[in-house]
Amino acid sequence: MKTALLFGATGLVGGHILNQLIQNDDYSKIKIFVRSSIQINNSKIEVIQTDFINLEKHKEQIVGDECYFCIGTTKKNSPDKNEYQRIELDIPKQVAQIAKSNDIKSYFFVSSGYANSKSSGDYLKYKGLVEEEILSLGFSKIGIMRPSFILGNRKEFRLGEKIGIIIFKLLNPLFVGPLKKMRSIHSKTIAKAMIKLANNNIDQKIFESDQISDLVK
């Protein structure tokens, strides 16, 4: 029986990961690290109210078999440049470093399609830098998910994303060959793929959007 650590349990992908871990008999404990206390009635779950400004104080709690990281933000929600960098770059890197120092064997990260540390845009650059950090730490098993447009029911209304859903539904059939990685993907599919990767021997470390879908077929 395994212990899973989950950062981002209240988010779009993280919520599906949490539900699937609860239903999976391979896991006896699920530690969820959240900024604000939440009420979840399940004997597997340990809720850890987390000071993300000082993650070192939680080092003794960041212990287990697998770590799933799917925290993210937007420029709209984090307009301060330093805060945006802290959430998208500094926190995921530090969590990975602590996880490795505590001998966690497997690490799974929701990145982004076209992530690149050399990108001129902060979002893709930060995702690329986090990817490089995770790969350099040498976990026994790594799963870096690079989804394209993510589908799912978000708690907050985003007009641009509603429009994006319509556009991608029309364009998906046109994305063939090298463009397949641009196909939209449901948040539940990403969660399923990550947990399947955690429980199977698959050597690949980075998965584009179409490859994430292929994992759960």
Quick one: pLDDT at residue 94? 97
Quick one: pLDDT at residue 162? 60
- Residue partners of 7: CB distance under 8 A and separation at least 6: 14, 32, 33, 67, 68, 69, 70, 71, 95
| pTM score above 0.75 | yes
Q: Report the alpha-carbon distance of residue 63 to residue 200 in Å, rounded.
A: 21
Which among 20, 51, 213, 152 is positioned nearest to 4, based on CA atoms?
20
Domain range holding 111? 2-215
- Is the CB of residue 20 less than 8 Å from the CB of residue 27? no
134 phi and psi angles, rounded to 5 deg: -60, -45
Quick one: pLDDT at residue 36? 84
Element (H, E) at 6: strand 2-7
Quick one: pLDDT at residue 65? 98
Q: Residue 58 corresponds to which tokens in the numbers above?
A: 């939680």
Q: Report the alpha-carbon distance of residue 26 to residue 39 in Å, rounded.
A: 23
How does pLDDT run along the chain (217 residues), one tens digit per residue?
Answer: 999 999 999 889 999 999 999 999 999 999 999 988 787 889 999 999 999 999 999 999 999 999 999 998 888 888 889 999 999 999 999 999 999 999 999 999 999 999 999 999 999 999 999 999 999 999 999 999 999 888 877 666 555 556 655 665 666 665 666 667 767 799 999 999 999 999 999 999 999 999 999 999 8
Quick one: pLDDT at residue 60? 96
Domain of 172, CATH number, reads: 3.40.50.720
Quick one: pLDDT at residue 75? 81
Q: How many domains does the chain have?
A: 1
Quick one: pLDDT at residue 90? 97
Element (H, E) at 217: none
Residue 171 is given by DSSP the state H
Q: Residue 18 corresponds to which tokens in the numbers above?
A: 């949490």
